[in-house]
């Protein structure tokens, strides 16, 4: 009955709406550890932590308790007009202490999309504040994913987020992605490729006029675009260009933040020095919706001065700094520390990379990528010859379906199959994950 109700009544997220009635929806009813269970009682290893987010798995008792306690004490209050609550204040303070580069203030929202849209507004506000109102264009990259709100979807580089939504909006520029395997010229080294990407960025800024370009958005590791790990020296070279033309860097840490890459932030893994950092997902291990925007002293001070001039910083959500969400996030950050999640992630990263590398030896795998506990296999009809599959075969989708039948949830993005398991995964569970993935790949091969 729930599946029927879902088909009849639910306008689905990110789904083919026309075929939703023909595909049996997968209704997940419960979860524990790295597993989730569907209505029929089938259990799956959640190899994607949901949508790259449930880092502590499904059912961590401390997060549940933190939520209950917060609901009992103060189920809601807002943060407009100088109001706040203890959890929001403590979480902001804790995030500043964890920040990978010095940050001055934390703004709260509810989703990664909202965090990124908030960052865009702050950037426009900032450049108005410092008397450079012409500096407004935002640069995004091919294959980027920053969310689905009007600005964040526009900055993203995925066609499905633009098509027939009349996006992107204007003021958005696009440059190439750091996907060496796909985008390098024949024989081009990773470093030369990184240099070329930085040169292209510089040319774009010069063509547009540096006085019109405000910011560059980047995920440390691109997630939804196919788990694209930037080549060495990429961010160093990109940032040299940004500095030259006074273009702000926004690090979108929505996936990478809180340990995924083996450091607390992907920013640290890849040597980024962002002016603004957005995060969400693992901030609460996804148990409650919450996201954050961290801003540097420079950005904050200018915004504060401008707000002083015009009266109010006219931005914020009903649920910004929601006390229940903030309490669960605060407890999540404590659990990461108490349970040594970062050290655990680092210790397991080689096993994860090895698991992927073993599968990458198959004829149908062209490329494998991994950092920390996020990775992907790029499927090819003939990996050695770099011959892609006929798109009609839907190779990625098919492998994901077989994996589901084997009791493993992975994510197919075109012919790239991604893994992003809960960070609490044990070595034995990881071996089981790869055994199931191996069977799924073997069935397709």
Stretch that binds ligand PLP, among 41-49, 247-255, 318-326, 379-387 (CB under 6 A): 247-255
Stretch that binds ligand PLP, among 195-203, 216-224, 241-249, 414-422 (CB under 6 A): 216-224
Stretch that binds ligand PLP, among 187-195, 218-226, 324-332, 394-402 (CB under 6 A): 218-226
Given 57, 223, 226, 259, the residue binding ligand PLP (CB under 6 A): 223
Would you say the C-alpha torsion 131, 132, 136, 142 has a positive or negative sign? negative
Task: State both tokens at 238.
Answer: 């990109």
The residue (of 51 and 190) whose beta carbon lies closer to ligand PLP is 51
Half-sphere exposure of 296 (CA within 13 A, CB side): 15
Q: Which residue has the tokens 């707000």?
A: 307
Q: Using the rule CB under 6 A, is 372 a contact of ligand PLP? A: no
DSSP 20: G
Q: Using the rule CB under 6 A, is 145 a contact of ligand PLP? A: yes
342 vs 276, 323, 346, CA distance in Å? 23, 26, 6
Q: Using the rule CB under 6 A, is 255 a contact of ligand PLP? A: yes
Exposed/middle/buried for residue 249 (C-beta within 10 Å: 0-12, 13-18, 19+): buried
Q: Using the rule CB under 6 A, is 252 a contact of ligand PLP? A: yes
Q: Using the rule CB under 6 A, is 147 a contact of ligand PLP? A: yes
The residue (of 147 and 355) whose beta carbon lies closer to ligand PLP is 147
Q: Using the rule CB under 6 A, is 374 a contact of ligand PLP? A: no
Strand partners, 423: none
State the nearest-atom distance from the C-beta of 311 to ligand PLP, in Å. Answer: 30
DSSP 418: E
Q: Using the rule CB under 6 A, is 111 a contact of ligand PLP? A: yes
Rounded Cα distance between 137 and 242, Å, is 13
Strand partners, 278: 252, 293
Rounded Cα distance between 90 and 95, Å, is 9
Residue whose C-beta lies closest to ligand PLP: 112
Q: Using the rule CB under 6 A, is 113 a contact of ligand PLP? A: yes
The residue (of 51 and 130) whose beta carbon lies closer to ligand PLP is 51
Q: Using the rule CB under 6 A, is 254 a contact of ligand PLP? A: yes
DSSP H helical segments within 311-338, as ranges? 323-338
The residue (of 239 and 278) whose beta carbon lies closer to ligand PLP is 278
The residue (of 110 and 359) whose beta carbon lies closer to ligand PLP is 110
State the nearest-atom distance from the C-beta of 302 to ligand PLP, in Å. Answer: 25
Q: Which residue has the tokens 């985008």?
A: 183
Give residues with Cβ within 8 angstroms of 12, minimum separation 6.
Answer: 20
The residue (of 52 and 193) whose beta carbon lies closer to ligand PLP is 52
State the nearest-atom distance from the C-beta of 290 to ligand PLP, in Å. Answer: 10
Stretch that binds ligand PLP, among 30-38, 105-113, 352-360, 434-442 (CB under 6 A): 105-113
Task: State both tokens at 31.
Answer: 């979860």
Task: Name which of residues 385 to 404 contact ligand PLP (CB under 6 A).
Answer: none
Yes or no: say if 321 and 315 are a contact pair by the CB < 8 Å rule.
no
The residue (of 103 and 224) whose beta carbon lies closer to ligand PLP is 224
State the nearest-atom distance from the C-beta of 106 to ligand PLP, in Å. Answer: 17
The pairing of beta strand 137-141 with beta strand 408-409: unpaired
The residue (of 216 and 389) whose beta carbon lies closer to ligand PLP is 216
Task: Name which of residues 287 to 326 contact ligand PLP (CB under 6 A).
Answer: none
Give residues with Cβ within 8 angstroms of 100, minimum separation 6.
Answer: 263, 264, 265, 267, 268, 272, 277
186 vs 116, 181, 192, 227, 232, CA distance in Å? 35, 10, 11, 22, 18
Give residues with Cβ within 8 angstroms of 354, minimum separation 6.
Answer: none
State the nearest-atom distance from the C-beta of 72 to ligand PLP, in Å. Answer: 27
Given 7, 51, 74, 101, the residue binding ligand PLP (CB under 6 A): 51
Given 219, 263, 275, 378, the residue binding ligand PLP (CB under 6 A): 219
Yes or no: say if 274 and 220 are a contact pair by the CB < 8 Å rule.
no
Binding residues vs ligand PLP (CB under 6 A)? 51-52, 111-113, 116, 145-147, 219, 223-224, 252, 254-255, 280
């Amino acid at each position: 009955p729930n599946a029927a109700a879902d088909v009849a009544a639910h306008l689905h997220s990110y789904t083919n709406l026309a075929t939703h009635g023909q595909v049996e929806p997968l209704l997940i009813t419960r979860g524990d550890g790295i597993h989730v269970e569907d209505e029929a009682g089938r259990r799956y290893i959640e190899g994607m932590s949901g949508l790259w987010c449930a880092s502590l798995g499904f059912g961590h008792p401390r997060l549940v308790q933190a939520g209950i306690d917060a609901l009992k004490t103060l189920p809601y209050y807002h943060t407009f007009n100088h109001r706040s609550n203890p959890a929001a204040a403590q979480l902001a303070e804790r995030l500043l202490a964890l920040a990978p580069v010095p940050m001055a203030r934390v703004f709260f929202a509810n989703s990664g999309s909202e965090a990124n849209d908030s960052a865009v507004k702050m950037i426009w506000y900032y450049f108005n504040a410092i008397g450079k109102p012409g500096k407004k264009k935002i640069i995004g990259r091919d294959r980027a994913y920053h969310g689905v709100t009007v600005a964040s979807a526009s900055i993203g580089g995925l066609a499905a987020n633009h098509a027939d939504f009349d996006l992107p909006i204007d003021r958005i520029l696009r440059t190439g992605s750091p996907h060496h395997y796909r985008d390098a010229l024949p024989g081009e080294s990773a470093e030369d490729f990184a240099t070329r990407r930085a040169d292209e960025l510089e040319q774009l800024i010069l063509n547009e006029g540096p006085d019109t370009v405000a910011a560059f958005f980047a995920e440390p590791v691109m997630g939804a675009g196919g788990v694209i790990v930037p080549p060495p020296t990429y961010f160093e070279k990109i940032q040299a260009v940004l500095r030259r033309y006074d273009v702000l860097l926004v690090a979108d840490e929505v996936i990478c933040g809180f340990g995924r890459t083996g450091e607390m932030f992907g920013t640290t893994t890849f040597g980024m020095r962002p002016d603004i950092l957005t995060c969400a997902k693992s901030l609460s291990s996804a148990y409650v919706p919450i996201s954050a925007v961290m801003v540097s002293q420079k950005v904050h001070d200018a915004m504060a001065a401008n707000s002083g001039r015009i009266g109010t910083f006219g931005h914020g959500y009903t649920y910004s700094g929601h006390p229940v969400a903030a309490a669960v996030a605060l407890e999540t950050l404590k659990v990461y520390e108490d349970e040594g999640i970062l050290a655990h992630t680092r210790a397991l990263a080689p096993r994860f990379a090895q698991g992927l590398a073993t599968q990458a030896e198959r004829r149908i795998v062209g490329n494998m990528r991994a950092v920390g506990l996020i990775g992907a296999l790029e499927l090819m009809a003939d990996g050695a010859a770099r011959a892609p599959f006929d798109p009609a075969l839907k190779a990625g989708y098919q492998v994901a379906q077989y994996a589901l039948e084997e009791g493993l949830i992975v994510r197919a993005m075109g012919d790239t199959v991604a893994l992003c398991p809960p960070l609490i995964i044990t070595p034995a569970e990881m071996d089981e994950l790869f055994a199931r993935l191996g069977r799924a790949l073997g069935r397709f091969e």
